[in-house]
Amino acid sequence: MQAIQAFLHWLGFGLCHQLPERSFFGGGIQAPVCARDTGIYIGVIVSVWLISLLHQGRRPREFPTAAGWAAMIVMMGLMVIDGGTEYAGLRTTTNDLRLITGLSFGFAVGALLTPMLNDEIWRRSARERVLDPAWRLVVWLLAVPVSYVLIRYGGPLLGVGYPILIGVAVIVTLTTVNLVMVCLLPPFERRAERLRDAWLPILIALALTFLEVWLAGLFRLALLALVARYC
């Protein structure tokens, strides 16, 4: 258990404040990131997966319609308002609000990430808009509160698997973002027919993820040392 906690702490050290009172626990182990970040990372993964399911694997590469953009702006704005007013000292918030607004933000990011990923990695993708027609957008929106209930109340039932699952979401999200950038390189751009065809760019993206996590941790240590020296 100590090894698991140490790894999860290292994973989120440079990415999050990791305050215990703002984080979830499972099996006595703290999640690697706070409640808000938990929502963001899991939201991105669920959103990308759900969009693929709703489009029946056709890999849409066009951004959403105006209605989709409006929904995403509101969803992102909810987290900005919740976090911004809290940090400004105007109000206090709760882990429940942090989680639901983080999920909303993560879902919106996933909807933006999906067409970029589909356009860069796959040899063949569909010229259709993400979350179009409207019924797909409605189902996607309804998935946010459903995800909240599952994460908030179902997650702790997994015991130590809960913080591990959150850690996996962090790694997968960062790797997915890195994969978009890796596939901008000509040797990997639009080369894959199936997921297994993209094993090399995925491996590179995963390596970049752990490098970024390590560098972020070093940066936080440097900041903490600087604060301790002058404060």
Annotate 90-143 with DSSP letters as a single string: S----HHHHHHHHHHHHHHHHHHHHHHHHHHHBSS-EEEETT-SHHHHHHHHHH
How high is the mean pLDDT of the chain?
Answer: 96
Is residue 31 within 8 Å of 11, Cβ to Cβ? no
* In the predicted structure, residue 231 carries a pLDDT above the cut 80: no
Closest CA to 6 of 212, 203, 167: 167
Peptide bond into 133 cis (omega under 30): yes
Q: Sorting pLDDT into bands at 50, 70 and 90, what band is 32?
A: very high
The SS3 assignment for 68 reads: helix
Overall average pLDDT of the 212-229 stretch: 94
Calpha distance 121→63 (Å, rounded): 16
Q: What angle do CA 212, 184, 207 make, to 5 degrees?
A: 30
At 96, list the tokens: 């429940």
Overall average pLDDT of the 154-177 stretch: 97
* In the predicted structure, residue 21 carries a pLDDT above the cut 90: yes
Helix (H) or strand (E) holding 210: helix 199-230
* In the predicted structure, residue 44 carries a pLDDT above the cut 90: yes
Q: Which residues pair with 26 in a beta bridge?
A: 29
Strands 60-62 and 126-129: parallel
What is the residue whose two structure tokens read 């890999």? 59
Is residue 115 within 8 Å of 62, Cβ to Cβ? yes
User: What sign for the dihedral angle of Cα 42, 35, 146, 68?
Assistant: negative
At 194, list the tokens: 């199936």
Instruction: Give the pLDDT confidence score for residue 230 in this predicted structure.
Output: 84
Beta-strand ranges (E) seen in the chain are: 25-26, 29-30, 60-62, 126-129
Q: Sorting pLDDT into bands at 50, 70 and 90, what band is 2?
A: confident
Calpha distance 42→73 (Å, rounded): 19
Calpha distance 28→220 (Å, rounded): 25
pTM of structure: 0.95
Q: What angle do CA 210, 213, 217 make, to 5 degrees?
A: 140
